[in-house]
Chains A and B, each alone.
Chain A
């Protein structure tokens, strides 16, 4: 994937915003990674934390990544299903009971079509 280049474009946007607001540094930045964006959280965070060190304005910046719950449209009952991603500790348990396949909570169908969720947004910024 290309997490490093996206992390670089985040740094570039932060530097522009710091200049625009005549601030000195970024303390905290909130980025929204859509659940279907295809971006690997850990790689993005890893890239950001290396690249931020090249600039005084970003070297203390804390990155907060938020991923909204994935939303699906059920092709059988036409209802909207919001199915949270399993947490790290739940994944092993799910794998052990073979429950990894997503099912519509309303009708049990597995014909779930992903809706939206491809966003990669610089959401909020705290500067001083």
Chain B
């Protein structure tokens, strides 16, 4: 047994070894790139939003309706993250907005270096015209994306009615990191056992004072508060 600390590792306090205090984050490389992305986005003239949710909660449908509401007055660019296919980017391009598809080939989240590449492509599409708003649609996943800063200014989490109102308490890290929570697909409330109070209360235990907007991107119901929130970001 080691005489110095009582551990079982015989060799580890020999005289020629040295101990170094480091205290450096394992996410340091991602964090540095994220800070650089944020400056890059600001130089492009824009505010960026990282959209995080489970697969199928309506991120792309939200973007389609948002683009329709804003595209005449706001220059929007979209970075789409998916494991495979260009389908989401194609849906965005069909609305007349530049979109870059990042396919991760299996990775369950976007990271800052991937988004850096996407920003350069978006810049190329704009031919020098500044952007106002950049959406980064993360890979559908309520776990891993929470750990990776992409260089966004706001992190918006979506929770759709069919998923159930217990999602915040089950995925606390993601919901705690939210700047805004959108409860989507509210047109389906009559068909699901979804408690709006439970979802809101539990999200606000994780993040006291969290702004929450319930809406439907299909019917457009309660869409105005979301659009107002976006306009508020652009005026900052």
Contact = CB atoms under 8 A, between A and B. Distances in A.
Interface in A92-128: 111-114, 118-128
Contacts, number: 91
B234 to A, nearest CB: 29
B1 to A, nearest CB: 15
Contact of A125 (B20, B27, B29, B206): B20
Given A1-B108, A111-B205, A123-B22, 10 more contacts: A6-B27, A10-B26, A17-B20, A21-B20, A36-B173, A38-B147, A113-B206, A120-B27, A123-B23, A124-B20
B18 interface: yes
Nearest to A29: B22
A13 interface: yes
Interface in B10-39: 11-12, 14, 16-29
A10 B22 CA distance: 12
7 closest residue pairs by CB, A with B: A128-B17, A120-B26, A38-B173, A125-B20, A27-B12, A126-B19, A122-B22
Contacts of A113: 205-208
Interface of B: 9, 11-12, 14, 16-29, 107-109, 143-144, 146-147, 172-173, 176, 205-208
Contacts of B26: 6, 9-10, 13, 31, 120-122
A121 B22 CA distance: 8
Interface residues of A, number: 33
Contacts of B18: 21, 23, 126-128
A17 B21 CA distance: 11
Contacts of B21: 123-124
Contacts of A51: none
A37 B147 CA distance: 8
Contacts of A17: 20, 22
Nearest to A73: B208
Nearest to B207: A113
B169 to A, nearest CB: 10
Given A38-B173, A112-B205, A122 B23 contact: yes
A8 to B, nearest CB: 10
Nearest to B11: A27
A109 B205 CA distance: 12
A98 B143 CA distance: 27
Contacts of B20: 17, 21, 124-127
Contact of B19 (A111, A112, A124): A124
